Amino acid sequence: MQTQTAERFRPFGTTIFAEMSRLALEHNAVNLSQGFPDFDGPDFVKQAAVDAIHAGHNQYARSPGVPSLADAIKKRFTERTGLDIDALAQVTVTSGCTEAIAAALLGTVNPGDEVILFEPYYDSYRACIAMTGATPRFVSMKPNNGRFIFDEANLAAAFSDKTRAILLNTPHNPSGTVLTRAELQTIAKLCTKHDAIALSDEVYEDLTYDREHISIASMPGMAERTITLSSLGKSFSLTGWKVGWAIASPELSAAVRSAHQFITFSTATPFQHAAATALTEGNAYVSKLREQYRTARDMLAEGLADVGFDVTLPEGTYFILAEHSKISSRLGVSTDVELSLKLTSEFGVAAIPPSVFCATPGLCADYLRFAFCKQQSTLEEAISRLNKING
Ligand code: GLN
């Protein structure tokens, strides 16, 4: 039968995350592709959700979010950025950051506008830009001593009179780059010069190892032109709860809400109450998780390097982007897509081919993305399977 899918979605197919997790299941592979923990979130947050259900918090929430959660998000944001905000007017709770990205783009961008995004990009960014009818402009991030970074002149050249927004992600999935103050300043200056807004996806903000996370909203002149997007999932190992949020000026928040009210209207009420508990009482959990991930990162990096990958430690996120040319030439394949299929089906380890996050052909094709948000035993099993590459 002829495709029934609207033209705007045809170029995107099925997301690589669903595709690779399906393949991993089919081949009984250790799944280091889709980024989700293979362990459970903290009991005190799960208990808070159960309590909220029993307390009768089961009808639609206020569309922009339950006040106690908006308040907890505000306090955390103010502590981190020094910016004082009005929780009820400036925080919008969404169904995961993925909805926050969609609502932010649909709420602020007109057909014919241009939106700048860094490649490799998280796959939903490009699909959401397509939904707005805007034109994406890509700026490549390339390795510089192993650290993926953009070129300032290329970024400046991507801005024009038509630029409505730039979509950034720090800490960056898949490269692990945590943008420095100087890099954020470069972006901020261009936004101000071209009167563009910044949509900043900061879902890995708590998962930094060697560099401090900075919100671009805290840079001079940016508070009024930034929509800061984040979520509960990565910091509390509860990716399936899908609680996210957007923080912005009252005017930009009104734009986000204009879309959010017609996408989901509101987010699951008991999980919002539990998220408020997590953010208010969760600092000790998050600090422990960060140290657990630092250990997992170092262990996976060492294991991958022993197998023959060229690895640079990521500054943040729970991903390692590993250069595979030695491995792929040994196995007689060339691209990341070919290698990821071979590793999944023949060696039983699934990873993401990051070229699917790029518009420029070949960019990132020499890399594979491995997730380390897994138990030590899972990572050990993956490394032991990969070692079979060397006989
Ligand atoms: N953010 C997760 C990752 O990058 C995937 C989320 C999803 O499956 N849509 O792996």
pLDDT level of residue 333 (50, 70, 90 thresholds): very high
Ligand 1 geometric centre to CA of 204 (Å): 12
The side-by-side arrangement of strands in the sheet containing 163-169 is 91-94, 244-247, 226-231, 197-201, 163-169, 114-119, 135-144, 147-150
List, chain by chain if needed, residues with CB within 6 Å of any ligand 1 atom. 15, 17, 34-35, 173
Ligand 1 geometric centre to CA of 34 (Å): 5
Q: State how beta strands 349-350 and 30-31 pair.
A: parallel
pLDDT level of residue 14 (50, 70, 90 thresholds): confident
Over 90: is that where the pLDDT of 331 sits? yes
- Residue pLDDT, tens place only, 46-59: 999 999 999 999 99
Does one domain contain both 267 and 378?
no
User: What does the alpha-carbon distance between residue 57 and residue 252 come to, in Å, rounded to a whole number?
Assistant: 29
- Residue pLDDT, tens place only, 265-288: 999 999 999 999 999 999 999 999
Ligand 1: which residue has its CA nearest to atom 9?
Answer: 17
Is 96:299 a contact under the CB 8 Å cutoff?
A: no
- Predicted local distance difference test score (pLDDT) of residue 210: 85
Q: State how beta strands 147-150 and 244-247 pair.
A: unpaired
In the chain, the DSSP E strands lie at 30-31, 91-94, 114-119, 135-144, 147-150, 163-169, 197-201, 226-231, 244-247, 310-311, 319-323, 349-350, 367-371
Does one domain contain both 151 and 203?
yes
Cα torsion 48, 265, 173, 324: sign: positive
- Residue pLDDT, tens place only, 131-165: 999 999 999 999 998 899 999 999 999 999 999 99
- Residue pLDDT, tens place only, 176-192: 999 999 999 999 999 99
Domain count, the chain: 2
Which residue in the block uniquely carries the two structure tokens 């250790």? 30
Cα torsion 49, 50, 53, 55: sign: negative
For residue 61, the 8-state DSSP code is P
Q: Residue 373: inside a domain, yes or no?
A: yes
- Tokens for 123, please give them: 């796959």
- Predicted local distance difference test score (pLDDT) of residue 365: 96
Over 90: is that where the pLDDT of 341 sits? yes
- Domain extent for 249: 60-281
- Predicted local distance difference test score (pLDDT) of residue 12: 87
Ligand 1 geometric centre to CA of 97 (Å): 11
**Atom of ligand 1 at shortest distance to CA of 122?**
4
Residue ending a domain, choose from 218, 250, 281: 281
Residue 137: CATH number of its domain: 3.40.640.10
- Mean pLDDT across the chain, nearest whole number? 97
Q: What is the mean pLDDT of residues 2-25?
A: 90
Residue ending a domain, choose from 260, 281, 302: 281
- Predicted local distance difference test score (pLDDT) of residue 245: 99
- Predicted local distance difference test score (pLDDT) of residue 50: 98
- Residue pLDDT, tens place only, 62-114: 999 999 999 999 999 999 999 999 999 999 999 999 999 999 999 999 999 99
- Predicted local distance difference test score (pLDDT) of residue 13: 83
- Residue pLDDT, tens place only, 225-238: 999 999 999 999 99
Cα torsion 245, 248, 253, 259: sign: negative
In 3-154, the DSSP E strands lie at 30-31, 91-94, 114-119, 135-144, 147-150
Q: Residue 109: inside a domain, yes or no?
A: yes
Residue ending a domain, choose from 231, 266, 281: 281
